[in-house]
Structure 1
Amino acid sequence: MNTQNDKRGQVRSNIPIGITVDVVLKKDQRTTKLTRGVVKRLLTNSAIHPRGIKVMLEDGQVGRVQAIISK
């Protein structure tokens, strides 16, 4: 498993559907608790977002990508 905790989660083109990522959920923004899941949909339309691309995970949770785990 290759955790890459860099700026790649801020670039939309780095996050294909089906990739495993760590996201911070809205309710966890103050604690920075991360949730791991598989990307179902990309919700951010812009190519780059400074706080991370917003995605929906397969279980329906929504958060901003903090780390890309595997492709």
Structure 2
Amino acid sequence: MNGQNRKDILPGTMVDIVLKSDQKTGKLTSGIVKDILTKSSYHPHGIKVRLTDGQIGRVQSIK
């Protein structure tokens, strides 16, 4: 799954995100979702989430 649909992501889900600072390089960061920050049901660049360690980024893939 590609992380563009909000319904596919729940708190506790393991995901790969791209941080704002890594958008140009595309470097991915893995973690567990704590909060879902995007309110809409779909976002073309990925749903924005906060990980349990506090990092915020857009979901690129769901593990």
**Which TM-score tier does this pair reach, normalised by the shorter chain?**
over 0.9
* TM-score, scaled to structure 2: 0.97
Q: CA deviation at 1:44?
A: 0.1
1:46-61 matched pairs, under 5 angstroms: 46-61=40-55
* TM-score, scaled to structure 1: 0.86
Match of 1:20 in 2: 14
Pick the structure with greater CA Rg.
Answer: 1
RMSD: 0.7
Q: How many residues align?
A: 63
1-structure distance, mates of 2:10, 2:37: 12
Identity among equivalent pairs (%): 59
Give the number of the structure whose residues are more often helix, by fraction: 1
Matched residue type, 1:67: S
Match of 1:68 in 2: 62
